[in-house]
Amino acid sequence: MFKQDADLVKAEMMANHAVRIEMSWSLPSPDDRVEYELWTTPTDIISRDFIRTFKEAAVALGSRAYFTPQMYIYDGIRSGCQGFDGENECYNLCTNNGRYCATDPDNDLDNGISGADVVEESLRRMCIWQHYGVDDGVGAEWWDYVQEHMFRCHSEEFFSNKKCIKDAMDHAKVDAKKIDQCMSDSGGLEEDVQNNILEVQLLAKDKSGVVILPAMYVNRVSIRGSLEFQVVFKAICSGYASGTEPAVCETCSNCPDPKECISNGFCGSKNMQDSVSTTTMAYSMVGLTVFFCLASIIQNKRHQRQMEAQVKGIIAEYMPLDENQMNNTAVSEEDGEFT
C-alpha cells in the first residue's frame, strides 16, 4: 500500500471510524479465455459443496473458460509402496502392485473405503472427463456424474459398488461401457504396468506443486482462500483481458449472490425484481392518470370555447333581424288610424 493511500486509512482510524480492508491479488489475464483447474480426490469433503453448485457457472461461462479436473494420487514407487520384487508393500492403499496410491479416507485399512478404491474412482472420473469434457472444457456430464456419485454412492457400502456406479452413470447420461473400456485401455489397475492416465496425473501434480487439497488454479495461479462459489467465480472473471469479459461476468461477478444471479440471469432476488416492476407499474399508472386528467380538462375547456363561439354566432345572427322587425312594424303618424 502506498503512503498516500495508507494516510487516508490512518485518518479514518484516528477519527475512530470503522475501517474494512480487503486484500486481493491480480491474476494473469493474457486473453479472452480463462483456464481453471481443481485438484481434489473423490473422498474430499471440503470440495464437495463447490462441485455440487458450480456446474451452472461452468455451463454459463461456456467456451470462454476451460475447466480441467485433476485427481490427486501418490506415486507409490517413490513412496516405497512397491518392493524390490515388484510386490505391493502398502496393503490396499495402492493399485498396480504399489504404483498408484491414495490415503485411506476413514483410516481403517480393514474396513470401509480403501485407498485403492479412491484410485479406481479417480481413474473413472478422469476417463469420464476425457470422453465428455476435454473437447469443450465444460464437461456437463462430468459434473452430473460426480454429483450423482456423491448423492447415491458416497458411503462405505456403495462407494465402489458397481451397480451403484452404473446407476450414477445412467442418471448422468454417461456411457458406462465407454468408460470401462477407457479404464482398461489406459493400463488398468491390476497388473504391474503403467497406467497412462494416472501417469499424466502424477506428472501434472509434480509440475503444479500442489500439496494441500483441495486446490484451485486460475490461469495457473493458485487461488487463496476458501473454495467457495463466489470466490472462484470472481477469480475466473478477473482472469480475462480488459474488455473481453463475458456477459455473465459483467452481470454477476460483483453481485452479492452470483450463483442466484447466474440462475436468474440478473443480479438480485426475484422479490426485488417484482418490487421494482410493481413500483414501475405504479408510477406508470399515476403518469397515465395525470395525462388523461389533463387531456380531459383541455378537451372540456376547448368544448366550452366552441359552445360559447356557437352561441355568440347565433345571437349575432338574430340581433339584426330583431332590429329590422321593430323598424317595419312601427306606426307613423302619416299612416293614419286603423279602420
Beta strands in 51-151 (DSSP E): 65-71, 74-75, 94-95, 100-101
DSSP string spanning 311-331? HHHHHHHHHHHHHHHHHHTPP
* DSSP H or E segment with residue 217: strand 215-218
Exposure class string for 205-226: b at 16+ Cβ within 10 A, else e: beebebeeebbbbbbeeebeee
For residue 253, is pLDDT > 50?
A: yes
Retrieve residue 253's grid coordinates.
461477478
Nearest Cα residue to 187 out of 281, 85, 96:
96
Cβ 68 vs Cβ 90: under 8 Å: no
DSSP letter at 161 equals -
What is the per-residue pLDDT across 276-309, written as a single tens digit (0 to 9) for each? 456 666 677 777 777 777 777 887 777 677 677 7
Amino acid identity of 167? D
What is the per-residue pLDDT across 309-319, written as a single tens digit (0 to 9) for each? 766 666 766 55
What is the per-residue pLDDT across 135-180, written as a single tens digit (0 to 9) for each? 999 999 999 999 999 999 989 999 999 999 999 999 999 999 999 9
Q: How many residues does the chain have?
A: 339
DSSP letter at 65 equals E
Cβ 226 vs Cβ 51: under 8 Å: no
pTM listed for this prediction: 0.74
75 vs 17, residue with greater confidence: 75
Distance separating alpha carbons of residues 277 and 270, to the nearest angstrom: 10
User: 352561441: which residue's cell?
Assistant: 311
HEC string for 126-154: HHHHHHHCCCCCCCHHHHHHHHHHHHHCC
Across 25-29, 92-96, 142-146, 246-250, least confident range: 25-29
Confidence of residue 332 (pLDDT cuts 50, 70, 90): very low
For the chain, the farthest-separated pair of C-alpha atoms sits apart, in whole angstroms, at: 166
* The pLDDT value given to residue 121: 98
Cβ 198 vs Cβ 100: under 8 Å: yes
User: Which residues are paired to 216 by β-bridges?
Assistant: 38
Distance separating alpha carbons of residues 79 and 195, to the nearest angstrom: 17
